[in-house]
Amino acid sequence: MVTTLSELDLSHLRQSIRVAADARASGRHPFGAIVVDASGAMVASAGNNSLPPEGDPTQHAELRAVAEASRKLGAEGMAGSTLYTSAEPCAMCSGAVYWTGIDRVVYALSEHRLLELTGDHPENPTFSLPCREVFARGQRTIAVDGPAIEDEAAVVHEDFWT
């Protein structure tokens, strides 16, 4: 399902994985996301902030990054933007991607692979709902590339969910 990614795509995807590693180092769930505009400039970067007690369960990295990008760029500025994320967006984040006007999503770790890593951990009740299925129900097309470099993305999850 993934097309061949460019070196720039891979660089941005690896940046999202570094953001996930930073989130983990800060004591948060290991997820990271960045948004680049149509020119390829990074306009937003966010780690996960949903871990109790101070975290908000809606503050996934993808949602935070697309919300920040939307505030900075406005609706028209979001045209041609891409979300790069360390893991496939969940149903909630896919909705945020749709509503903020992101045109493309590139993700590293699939929901299926993530579930293998997290198991039934109560802090990550993973949906079995690929982002492509969520986007397919919308009125506009969102291109999706992923999974890609899953082994690299899995490293930040090692020993986290046990």
State residue 123's pLDDT score: 66
Q: Is 62 a catalytic residue?
A: yes
pLDDT digits (tens, 9 = 90+) for 55-81: 788 889 999 999 999 999 999 999 999
State residue 132's pLDDT score: 96
Contacts of residue 14, Cβ cutoff 8 Å, sequence gap at least 6: 149, 152
Q: 7-157 in CATH: which number?
A: 3.40.140.10
- Catalytic residue, candidates 54, 62, 88, 133: 62
Structure tokens at 87: 């893991």
- pLDDT per position in the chain (162 positions), as tens? 556 899 999 999 999 999 999 999 998 999 999 999 999 999 999 999 887 667 788 889 999 999 999 999 999 999 999 999 999 999 999 999 999 999 999 999 998 898 888 877 766 667 778 999 999 999 999 999 999 999 999 999 999 988
- Residue extents of the structural domains in the chain: 7-157
